[in-house]
Amino acid sequence: MKKIITILATLFVMAGHAQTITPEQAKNNADKKVTVCGKVFNVYTSTKGQAPTFLHFGGAFPNSLFSVVVYKNDLPKFKYPLAGLANKNVCVTGYIKLYKGKPEMTVNSPSQIVVK
């Protein structure tokens, strides 16, 4: 019984940890929970729709390799301006989806972004 509990506990801990990848690897990890680490190339806030803020990795849109999206209604949760992340190395954790063939991750909590 003790062995079964140990195995279950190990599986539970492992399920909570996301694989760490680069922005270049993001496209090949769609529909997976991962941590993407890299340099934020630029930050752009749209004035359309839900006024999302985008963090672009690997180049400016539309040439970015990976993007993070933070919607306007989630911005008050952040105690710092996201524009300050430009040119910084950060890690973001969440699920990658493909939007028009490009990998992106929606972030709705400050705990998903770690500045390195």
Q: Give the model confidence (pLDDT) of 76-98 as tens digits.
A: 999 999 999 999 999 999 999 99
Question: Class of 19-115 per CATH?
Answer: mainly beta
Q: Write the pLDDT tens digit of every residue in 21-77.
A: 999 999 999 999 999 999 999 999 999 988 999 999 999 999 999 999 999 999 999
Q: Could you say which DSSP state residue 59 is in?
A: S
Q: Taking the domains of the chain in order of start, what are their residue ranges?
A: 19-115
Phi, psi of 93 (to 5 degrees): -120, 135
Structure confidence at residue 50 (pLDDT)? 87
- C-alpha to C-alpha distance for 22 and 11, rounded to whole angstroms: 25
Task: For residue 7, name the pLDDT band (cuts at 50, 70, 90).
Answer: very low
pTM of the model: 0.84
Backbone angles phi, psi at 105, to 5 degrees: -135, 130
Q: Is the pLDDT of residue 4 over 50?
A: no
